[in-house]
């Protein structure tokens, strides 16, 4: 008989492992949920990863999952596996407050497609994770929920609007966490928290309602292992009738061949995209990680993409303009909103249609350059983020230029691949001298999601990370 798992082992076990144990009746979904809820009760006060924890509902779902296992009912790929949903996405009967006092008390009357698909796959929903206000920035705080703390350093940034998901993954609050990424909000928390984050190709996982931000918001997983991210995609990928941008693609098993190393790839490595400032410790860890790919018989070339320096002007213009509709909240709520968000909203106001369309033409040309560049390479490697975690009461690190709203200055490697719709993963590649995680970004061609996951899994075997766990306070 398989040995009984301790509570600590349960909390850090992978979704792939607990799924297999549940199916073989070696693990009770109820025991798993109880173990996680015990850990969350002990440590979430230190981390603040949950906007809304639903322990009673999770236990009810776990009991139902256990009955189905014992009755021999058909089981989905995530049967009994605990997951979380980010509070920028709807979950029927749960609060939907989006990190803002403007939305306090709002209750969803529907499931977003990714939540519905996770439920249909048998997942047990633990609750909803924290987000920055309306998902606007790369720092883990909101006026409604306060600071979400990095599990590796209390008071430090856990990163972007999926910060609760990233912090929960690192803290052992379950194996699978749904995130979304409009300018790095899956990859940044993964980088800061030392976990795996995967932003799929645009439209692979449906997003309803379709966001009015020119197709940059991707839905995907944050987990501790590559295989768990693949399992998430198996359950959630595919076209949806309510998302006209979702991808109609052949059915793919994203777990297939993850155990086979990539080899003989043409890999581009850009340490700065031709313009980005990067802290020296981050740069050194990423460069060392890139060197591992040469051991896989890959051809790695250092490159300076000609399109890179065009990104900052485009990224900042569209980030502010696409926040400007939130100006509708200012008259009533400005004093209770994030001051950085207010500044960003105001920066986006007043642009003419002619200016917007001219900038959009420039953006489309920029995106085309990226796709043409990627046609010559199997993968592009970069830092995930320019800095390691810094105090979450700041918008920029202390030694970086101050700006009332521009956090993009330290995240120049993320938003280009949202605009291009390319798949990208952040994989942990080491720790700074202060013990803070750093991520390597792996970018693939459009629809090459499986290829990116295989490269990430190859790196994971060469330089494992899932055994590294933060020491949490009380």
DSSP output for 46-113? HH--EEEE-HHHHHHHHHHHHHHHHTT----TTTT-EEEEETTS--TTSB--TT-GGGTT-B-SS--H
Length reported for the chain: 474
Average confidence (pLDDT) over 225-244: 96
Sign of the torsion angle spanned by Cα atoms 92, 211, 374, 431: negative
Say what the pLDDT of residue 5 is.
Answer: 84
Of the residues 19, 108, 161, 409, which is catalytic? Answer: 161
The strands making up 218-223's β-sheet, listed across from edge to edge, are 50-53, 124-129, 82-86, 176-181, 218-223, 196-199, 424-431, 437-444, 379-383, 266-269, 299-302
Q: Examine the pLDDT at 359 and tell me if it is beyond 70.
A: yes
C-alpha 309/C-alpha 318 separation (Å) is 16
Residues of the chain with pLDDT > 70, as a percent, come to 99
Average confidence (pLDDT) over 132-142: 98
What pTM does this model have? 0.97
Query: What are the residues whose beta carbons fall under 8 Å from the beta carbon of 312, sequence distance 6 or more?
Result: 275, 408, 412
Q: SS3 of 328, please? A: helix
Band (248; pLDDT cuts 50, 70, 90):
confident
Query: Is 185 marked active-site?
Result: yes
Structure tokens at 282: 């981050």
Q: Examine the pLDDT at 230 and tell me if it is beyond 90.
A: yes
Query: Is 161 marked active-site?
Result: yes
Say what the pLDDT of residue 4 is.
Answer: 81
- Name the residue among 255, 205, 265, 248 with its Cα closest to residue 228: 255
Helix extents (H) in 179-276:
187-193, 226-236
Band (251; pLDDT cuts 50, 70, 90):
confident
Say what the pLDDT of residue 24 is.
Answer: 96
Q: Examine the pLDDT at 98 and tell me if it is beyond 90.
A: yes
Q: HSE-up of 393 (CA within 13 Å, CB side)?
A: 2
Q: Examine the pLDDT at 304 and tell me if it is beyond 90.
A: yes
Conformational region of residue 206, where left means phi above 0, alpha means psi within -120 to 50, and beta covers everything else: beta
Say what the pLDDT of residue 474 is.
Answer: 64
User: Average per-residue pLDDT in the chain?
Assistant: 96
Say what the pLDDT of residue 473 is.
Answer: 76
Band (459; pLDDT cuts 50, 70, 90):
very high
Say what the pLDDT of residue 254 is.
Answer: 97
Q: Examine the pLDDT at 175 and tell me if it is beyond 70.
A: yes
Please list, residue by residue across 304-316, b when 16 or more beta carbons sit within 10 angstroms of its beta carbon and e when fewer do.
Answer: ebebbebbbebbb
Of the residues 14, 19, 28, 86, which is catalytic? Answer: 86
Q: Examine the pLDDT at 357 and tell me if it is beyond 90.
A: yes
Q: SS3 of 250, please? A: coil
Say what the pLDDT of residue 293 is.
Answer: 95
Of the residues 28, 185, 246, 384, which is catalytic? Answer: 185
Band (2; pLDDT cuts 50, 70, 90):
low
Phi, psi of 154 (to 5 degrees): -60, 135
Q: Examine the pLDDT at 1 and tell me if it is beyond 60.
A: no
Structure tokens at 328: 């509708």
Residues 296 and 261 sit within 8 Å (Cβ to Cβ): yes
Conformational region of residue 172, where left means phi above 0, alpha means psi within -120 to 50, and beta covers everything else: left
Conformational region of residue 127, where left means phi above 0, alpha means psi within -120 to 50, and beta covers everything else: left
Band (249; pLDDT cuts 50, 70, 90):
confident
Query: Residue 394, exposed/middle/buried by CB under 10 A (0-12, 13-18, 19+)?
Result: middle
C-alpha 289/C-alpha 282 separation (Å) is 11
Average confidence (pLDDT) over 238-256: 90
Band (65; pLDDT cuts 50, 70, 90):
very high
Q: SS3 of 17, please? A: helix
Query: What are the residues whose beta carbons fall under 8 Å from the beta carbon of 416, sequence distance 6 or more?
Result: 273, 307, 308, 311, 315, 366, 370
The CA-based diameter of the chain, rounded to the nearest angstrom, is: 69
Conformational region of residue 334, where left means phi above 0, alpha means psi within -120 to 50, and beta covers everything else: alpha
- Which residues are bridge partners to 437 per DSSP? 431
Query: Is 140 marked active-site?
Result: no
Say what the pLDDT of residue 250 is.
Answer: 77
Q: SS3 of 403, please? A: coil
CA-CA-CA-CA dihedral for 308, 312, 316, 319, to nearest 10:
20
Q: Examine the pLDDT at 19 and tell me if it is beyond 90.
A: yes
Query: What are the residues whose beta carbons fall under 8 Å from the beta carbon of 399, sequence distance 6 or more?
Result: none
Residues 417 and 369 sit within 8 Å (Cβ to Cβ): no
Say what the pLDDT of residue 7 is.
Answer: 85
C-alpha 202/C-alpha 205 separation (Å) is 8
In 253-390, beta strands by DSSP E: 266-269, 299-302, 379-383
Please list, residue by residue across 465-474, b when 16 or more beta carbons sit within 10 angstroms of its beta carbon and e when fewer do.
Answer: bbeebbebee
Q: Examine the pLDDT at 271 and tell me if it is beyond 70.
A: yes
């Amino acid at each position: 008989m398989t040995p009984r798992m301790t509570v600590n082992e349960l909390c850090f076990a992978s979704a792939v492992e607990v799924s297999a144990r549940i199916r073989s009746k070696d693990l009770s979904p109820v025991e798993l949920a109880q173990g996680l809820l015990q850990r969350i009760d002990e440590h979430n006060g230190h981390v603040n990863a949950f906007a809304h924890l639903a322990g009673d509902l999770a236990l009810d779902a776990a009991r139902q999952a256990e009955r189905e296992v014992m009755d021999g009912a058909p089981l989905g790929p995530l049967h009994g596996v605990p997951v979380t949903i980010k509070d920028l996405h709807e979950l029927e009967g749960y609060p939907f407050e989006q990190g803002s006092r403007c939305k306090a008390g709002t209750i969803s009357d529907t499931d977003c497609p990714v939540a519905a698909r996770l439920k249909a796959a048998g997942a047990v929903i633990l609750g909803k994770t924290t987000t920055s206000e309306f998902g606007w920035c790369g720092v883990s705080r909101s006026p409604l929920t306060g600071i979400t703390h990095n599990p590796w350093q209390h008071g430090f940034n856990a990163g972007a609007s999926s910060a609760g998901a990233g912090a929960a993954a690192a803290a052992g609050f379950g194996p699978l966490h749904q995130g979304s990424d409009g300018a790095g909000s899956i990859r940044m928390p993964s980088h800061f928290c030392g976990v795996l984050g995967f932003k799929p190709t645009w439209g692979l996982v449906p997003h309803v309602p379709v966001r009015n931000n020119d197709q940059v918001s991707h839905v995907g997983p944050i987990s501790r292992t590559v295989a768990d991210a693949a399992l998430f995609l198996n359950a959630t990928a595919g076209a949806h009738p309510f998302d006209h941008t979702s991808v109609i693609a052949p059915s793919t098993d994203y777990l297939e061949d993850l155990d086979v190393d990539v080899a003989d790839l043409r890999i581009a490595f850009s340490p700065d995209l031709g313009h980005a400032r990067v802290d020296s410790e981050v740069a050194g860890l990423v460069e060392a990680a890139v060197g591992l790919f040469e051991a896989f018989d890959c051809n790695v070339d250092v490159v300076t993409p000609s399109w890179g320096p065009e990104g900052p002007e485009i990224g900042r213009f569209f980030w502010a303009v696409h926040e400007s509709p939130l100006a509708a909240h200012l008259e009533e709520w400005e004093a209770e909103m994030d001051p950085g968000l207010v500044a960003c909203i105001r920066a986006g106001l007043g642009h003419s249609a002619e200016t917007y369309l001219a900038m959009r033409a420039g953006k489309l040309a920029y995106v085309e350059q990226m796709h043409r560049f990627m046609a010559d390479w199997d993968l592009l490697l970069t830092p995930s983020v320019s800095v390691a975690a810094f105090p979450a009461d700041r918008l920029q690190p202390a030694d970086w230029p101050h700006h009332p709203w521009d956090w993009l200055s330290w995240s120049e490697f993320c938003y280009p691949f949202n605009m291009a719709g390319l798949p990208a993963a952040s994989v942990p590649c080491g720790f700074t001298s202060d013990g803070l995680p750093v991520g390597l970004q792996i970018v693939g061609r459009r629809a090459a999601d499986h290829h990116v996951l295989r490269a990430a899994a190859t790196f994971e075997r060469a330089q494992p990370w899932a055994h590294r766990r933060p020491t949490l306070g009380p």
